[in-house]
Amino acid sequence: MLDKLEAIKERFEDVSQQLIQPDAMSDMKKYKALNKEYKDLEKIVIEYKKYLSLLSNIENAKQVIATEKDEEFREMAKEELDELIPQQEEMEELIKNLLIPKDPNDSKDIIIEIRAGAGGDEASIFAGDLHRMYSRFAEKQGWKMELIDAQEGTSGGYKEIISSISGEDVYGKMKFESGVHRVQRVPATETQGRIHTSVASVVVLPEVEEFDIELNMNDIRKDLFCASGPGGQSVNTTYSAVRLTHIPSGIVAQCQDQKSQLKNFDKALKVLRSRIYEVELAKKNEEEGAQRKSMVGGNDRSDKIRTYNYPQGRVTDHRIGYTVYNLPIVMDGAIDDFVEELRIAESAERLKEGVA
């Protein structure tokens, strides 16, 4: 492990030097990649330096025990060693986790799409509840959430709502939310007090940069239409809403949130690029036979991943069998425990793969 850590430290120093060169920013694609690598390596190097210091202290304590004639000094060294050995084990475990290969998309921003499924109006209301839950979670994380497109439900909530979230490690924390979310509760419109089951699907896409995927603008058809819904005087009077169609794949993205056609075009292009990237990535993984049928992150979008049971105040994640009984707090954005448990499960799987 020490050889590997030393090689990482050398690479970190090399990247540091490249970043301070006068011409470093002449190639922005390369500069951005180096900056990301620097941040990833820095976390490991900081812990490596702490680990070397700890090993030095352990060696010194052993040396005192072996050579010191003063019994009191030797006893003090033994006590110090008893404290340092557990610290060594903890630090080695931490470094092992840092050395697990990371998903290269973890640091990216995301596009999140929430759609009402089976359950009629109640499904739309639940989709709205999920949107609020993620909005609150993003707020607590210090992330920025922006609306891209929305179709409101007839009795509240949304038939579909698409947003972007930007910040630190957004995809790394949010990627596990993709899948079908199920709610069990008595709808406000239910007069007999019967519990209904409704579902909403969530899709989390890494927001890709221009250099992540080659997109020929000649392959994209742009259609303009009048925006619908709230938005001021310009709504329904100007053709500001934008729909983009990628002709070769048939993938469509649209945005009508902004009054500016140009801003709507930029947002729609972000969504289109991310959707095409996901399709291309899935195709590449399939060709290489490397698609991980992971219990945590490799499930099909149609898989039911979580149940929100209101009468019991229960939320259960079916992938890892994790249940909490604080549903109101979860719906207010406290999904941290689920994120952490899922990340631990993913790390365990990746560690297993690394050993294999």
- How far is it, in rounded angstroms, from Cα 35 to Cα 171? 18
Number of independent structural domains in the chain = 3
Considering 227, 256, 281, which residue would you say is the last residue of a domain? 281
Where the chain has pLDDT below 50, the residues are: 231-235, 290-293, 295, 298-300, 355-356
Please tell me whether residues 203 and 298 are part of one structural domain. Answer: yes
Q: Note whether residue 194 is domain-resident.
A: yes
Neighbours of 256 (CB within 10 A): 23
CATH code (residue 337): 3.30.70.1660
Q: What is the dihedral of CA 88, 91, 96, 100, to 10 degrees?
A: -170
Q: Note whether residue 286 is domain-resident.
A: no
Q: By CB neighbour count within 10 A (0-12 exposed, 13-18 middle, 19+ buried), where does 254 fall? A: buried
Tokens of 313: 């105040």
Please tell me whether residues 147 and 88 are part of one structural domain. Answer: no
Please tell me whether residues 133 and 268 are part of one structural domain. Answer: no
Q: Alpha carbon of 259 to those of 22, 171, 223, 231, 240: distances in Å?
A: 41, 28, 16, 8, 6
Please tell me whether residues 61 and 93 are part of one structural domain. Answer: yes
Please tell me whether residues 205 and 310 are part of one structural domain. Answer: yes
Q: Note whether residue 288 is domain-resident.
A: no
Q: What is the pLDDT of residues 45-99, one digit of tens each?
A: 999 999 999 999 999 999 999 988 888 988 999 999 999 999 999 998 888 878 8
CATH code (residue 224): 3.30.160.20
Q: Alpha carbon of 177 to those of 122, 139, 182: distances in Å?
A: 20, 17, 12
Q: Note whether residue 104 is domain-resident.
A: no
Full domain range(s) for residue 117: 110-210+294-353
Angle of CA points 219, 258, 165, to nearest 5° = 80
Please tell me whether residues 177 and 132 are part of one structural domain. Answer: yes
Please tell me whether residues 6 and 86 are part of one structural domain. Answer: yes
Considering 235, 253, 281, which residue would you say is the last residue of a domain? 281
Please tell me whether residues 5 and 92 are part of one structural domain. Answer: yes
Question: Which pTM does this prediction carry?
Answer: 0.70
- How far is it, in rounded angstroms, from Cα 224 to Cα 232? 18
The pLDDT of residue 210 is 66
Please tell me whether residues 239 and 312 are part of one structural domain. Answer: no
The pLDDT of residue 4 is 85
Q: Note whether residue 287 is domain-resident.
A: no
The pLDDT of residue 287 is 57
The pLDDT of residue 284 is 67
Please tell me whether residues 151 and 205 are part of one structural domain. Answer: yes
Q: Note whether residue 289 is domain-resident.
A: no
CA 338 to chain centre: 12
Backbone angles phi, psi at 28, to 5 degrees: -65, -35
Please tell me whether residues 316 and 340 are part of one structural domain. Answer: yes
- How far is it, in rounded angstroms, from Cα 174 to Cα 206? 10
CATH code (residue 56): 1.20.58
Specify the residue for token string 């490596």.
Answer: 48
**Contacts of 133 by beta carbon, 8 Å cutoff, 6+ apart:** 330, 331, 332, 333, 335
Q: Note whether residue 18 is domain-resident.
A: yes
Q: What is the 3-state secondary structure (H, E, C) of 58-90?
A: HHHHHHHHHHCCCHHHHHHHHHHHHHHHHHHHH
Q: What percent of the chain has pLDDT over 70?
A: 88
DSSP state of 105: T
The pLDDT of residue 346 is 83
Cα radius of gyration (the chain):
26
Q: Note whether residue 223 is domain-resident.
A: yes
